Amino acid sequence: MEKFNMQFFAEPGPVVTTTLDRDRRAIDCSKIITQLIPSADPYAVILMKARKEATDTAEFIWFDDEPVGWWTKASAAADDTATNINVADGSIFATHDILKVPRTGEVLRVTATNANVLTVVRGYGTTASAAIEAEDWLVRIGNAMEENSNAPVSKLNQPQKFTNYTQIVRTTFDESMTSAHEKKRVGGKERTRLRAKKLLEHRLDVARISIWGEKKEDLSSGKPRRMTAGINSFIQTNRKDMGGPLTEAEWENFLEMGFSYGSKTKLFVCSRTVGGAINMIAQNKIITTSGEEIFGIRLPKYRSFHGDVIIAVDRSLENAYAGYGFLLDMKNIVYRPLNGRDTKLHPNIQANDVDGWVDEYLTEFGMMVRQEKTHAVLFGVTGFAAG
């Protein structure tokens, strides 16, 4: 027993004859050694098959643009005669714009703008003016120009700049030459087995980084070390904390938020906890379909009023992350390997005098997450609750 414990807790190192279980060398049994995790999760596979654009530099840049907005809120109350209205965002308005207060139905015409203060004509339509409350919504419904008018003032917003780094991920494995030449009755050649095993580990590492990575460039050692920002770092607008069991109403509310922009079919990468809760919701509504393929994988589809949700349970979302789910518009998720540095096997990287071999898988990649409002994050789910 002591000998077993010493081997079990030994420091990581090359595979030698003493670390190979004797049953693998002597007893004739099944020639297949099963893996606890036999294959990459659907998200890891989809990431490798999704949009891929090589980058020529370790830091890459992109720009996202969106239309000038048309909704804002009153930042202070105003009575029914006030002509100066304080708003949260005055940059989206210009002289001659027509506004409407949905709560009261009143229409206002903008005669001047000064930062976040709008000068307006009250009751400009058929609805009488009424007091405006703080936090009332105001919507710009267009402008109304007089006959033979000059062109209105233009309203422009500049595209937003984003950057990210590529991250080097290396997974090495090795074996002594004695072990390599020793005949084994189980598992076949150790090198072949390890290549399959370590490729799976490498792909799972890349998948976890693509979700949870944070952007950083460390120059302290004189050799740059970079980390890429993952999907979670980019999604800032659509984040919903359940703080308990997921109800059908809350799930629909999340989908309404998540499908506000972008594609009508999105990938939902979630934990088993969240997936189980959705399964209960789908069971009640009987709208789940399965067997359809996305990127060559059969995954369940949840069809909602807001859009279709392709559900992929992912192993990266467990334990402390068991309450998470990411609704992703895959048209705006881009996997960006450095040119010539996508996942490759590099054999025989050992020193010349080593009596053994060392192989490694190496990937240098970054994530480009575009139009963050087309994605959404659900977290804090502890299970399912009816209602």
Give the per-residue pLDDT at 32: 47
Give the per-residue pLDDT at 251: 94
Label residue 31 by pLDDT band (50, 70, 90). Answer: very low
Task: Determine which helix (DSSP H) or strand (DSSP E) holds 120, and give its type and residue range.
Answer: strand 117-121
pLDDT tens per residue across span 174-221? 999 998 888 876 667 889 889 989 998 999 899 999 999 999 999 999
**pLDDT higher than 60, residue 97:** yes
Report the candidate in 15, 23, 110 with the shortest Cα–Cα distance to residue 70.
110
**What is the spatial distance between Cα 377 and Cα 323, in angstroms, rounded to a whole number?**
10
* Span of 70-84, 295-309, 354-368 with lowest mean pLDDT: 295-309
Give the per-residue pLDDT at 148: 85
Mean pLDDT of 301-308: 88
Name the region of 138 (left: φ>0; alpha: ψ -120 to 50; beta: rest). beta
Q: How many helices (H) and strands (E) does the chain have?
A: 8, 21
Report the candidate in 299, 238, 304 with the shortest Cα–Cα distance to residue 269.
299
Label residue 154 by pLDDT band (50, 70, 90). Answer: confident
Domain ranges of the chain: 2-63+162-229+342-360, 71-143, 235-335+370-384
Return mean pLDDT, the chain.
Answer: 85
Query: What percent of the chain is predicted at pLDDT more than 70?
Result: 85
Q: Which two tokens stand for residue 289?
A: 């379909």
Cα 42 to chain center, whole Å?
14
Task: Determine which helix (DSSP H) or strand (DSSP E) holds 284, and give its type and residue range.
Answer: helix 272-285
Contact 186, 30 (CB under 8 A): yes
Give the per-residue pLDDT at 303: 86
Label residue 87 by pLDDT band (50, 70, 90). Answer: very high
Q: Which two tokens stand for residue 175?
A: 């074996």
How big is the CA angle at 271 (ends 270 and 274), to the nearest 5 degrees?
Answer: 80
pTM of the complete model: 0.78
Label residue 6 by pLDDT band (50, 70, 90). Answer: very low
CA 239 vs CA 162, 234, 262, 383: distances in Å: 20, 11, 16, 18
Size (the chain), residues: 387
Q: Which two tokens stand for residue 257?
A: 């938020």
Mean pLDDT of 225-229: 97
Give the per-residue pLDDT at 219: 95
Give the per-residue pLDDT at 334: 94
Task: Determine which helix (DSSP H) or strand (DSSP E) holds 198, and give its type and residue range.
Answer: helix 190-212
Contact 120, 129 (CB under 8 A): no
Give the per-residue pLDDT at 292: 56
Label residue 224 by pLDDT band (50, 70, 90). Answer: very high
Report the candidate in 151, 356, 359, 381 with the shortest Cα–Cα distance to residue 248.
381
The architecture that CATH gives domain 235-335+370-384 is 2-Layer Sandwich (3.30)
Q: Which two tokens stand for residue 369?
A: 């997450």
Give the per-residue pLDDT at 9: 43
Give the per-residue pLDDT at 51: 84
Mean pLDDT of 234-257: 94
How big is the CA angle at 136 (ends 133 and 140), to the nearest 5 degrees?
Answer: 130
Q: Hunting for tokens 């409350």 — which residue is that?
A: 133
